[in-house]
Amino acid sequence: MTILDGKALSNKIKEEIKFEVEELQKEKGITPGLAVVLVGADPASAAYVNMKSKACKQAGIYSIVHEMPETISQDKILEILAMMNKNPNIDGILVQLPLPKHVDTTAILEAITPEKDVDGFHAYNTGRMTLGLDSFTPATPYGVMRLLEEYNIDPKGKNVCVIGASNIVGKPMGTLLLNANATVTTCHIHTKDLKEHTKNADIICVGVGKVNLITEDMVKDGAVVVDIGINRLDNGKLVGDVDFENVSKKCKYISPVPGGVGPMTIAMLLVNTIKAARLREERERKLND
């Protein structure tokens, strides 16, 4: 059994990004910029935003966090996003989810200009990704694909079971795997017999937020298991959706929690931010030609 070490790979990617940032600053006079919108005081969301800000600082990316009270109106959020869309120093914009119930998440995500949608949640980028065209790809599924690539795990021709059908993880995960020529089955809360789908899968990707959802009897020998879930136990320990101790005995590859997909999510967000900065430079150059 081999551990899919997302922490080591993310550190490698961050070093590459740091070099790219220095190159952009030296050759183009550009410092990539990322703006994060945080609404409310959810501890988990605040922790994620803090990790993203720290990663940006380490890579040399300009980062700003707009903290807003949970009671802020939707119109005010849209107003701030419009301001960010026009700010030439901001290459990427992301809104930390979930948002308060009184806010229409779709309307907020659609208000971000597609060229700055480094989270890859805008319908424009979602559509291009589905068609296999160049786009901003949601960071978590993007990170999973990069992790598989690092360990020479080719999804082509493999039976893959994706558990979870969210717009943020499950659906784009299935799309990327399908684009990589895998045979994809997507399972969700209404799936009648989950084990029937997982036990024959060559690769299992799970991210629903349920402790020990995937057990040893649900996984075939030699499978690849990617645990995207994150749960905090009563004792404070972080675990995924997979019974790691027992499932790992049957796997060829498995990602741990923490230290697997989590670090990759932040790394790929930085990759998207650099991409946005390079695209900005290209647009500006064409305007000046």
At position 262, the amino acid (one-letter code) is G
Tokens, residue 241: 């959706």
d(CA 92, CA 113): 9
d(CA 47, CA 49): 5
Pair 118, 279: CB distance under 8 Å: no
Pair 229, 257: CB distance under 8 Å: yes
Active site residue 57: no
Is 153 annotated among the ligand-binding residues?
no
Residue 195: other Cβ atoms inside 10 A? 13
Active site residue 249: no
Is 90 annotated among the ligand-binding residues?
no
Among 14, 52, 116, 171, the one annotated catalytic: 52
CA 19, 94, 130, 182 dihedral sign is positive
Among 5, 14, 91, 96, the one annotated catalytic: 96
Q: Are strands 238-239 and 223-227 parallel, antiparallel or unpaired?
A: unpaired
Which residue shows structure tokens 């020998």? 221
Is 164 annotated among the ligand-binding residues?
yes
Pair 83, 77: CB distance under 8 Å: no
Is 165 annotated among the ligand-binding residues?
yes
Tokens, residue 77: 């959020």
Among 5, 91, 119, 241, the one annotated catalytic: 119
Residue 271: other Cβ atoms inside 10 A? 23
Active site residue 52: yes
Q: Are strands 159-163 and 92-95 parallel, antiparallel or unpaired?
A: unpaired
Is 214 annotated among the ligand-binding residues?
no
Q: State the DSSP code for 100.
A: P
Q: State the DSSP code for 217.
A: G
d(CA 144, CA 176): 10
Question: Binding site for NADP(+): which residues?
Answer: 164-166, 189, 230
Q: Catalytic residue numbers?
A: 52, 96, 119
Question: Binding site: which residues?
Answer: 164-166, 189, 230
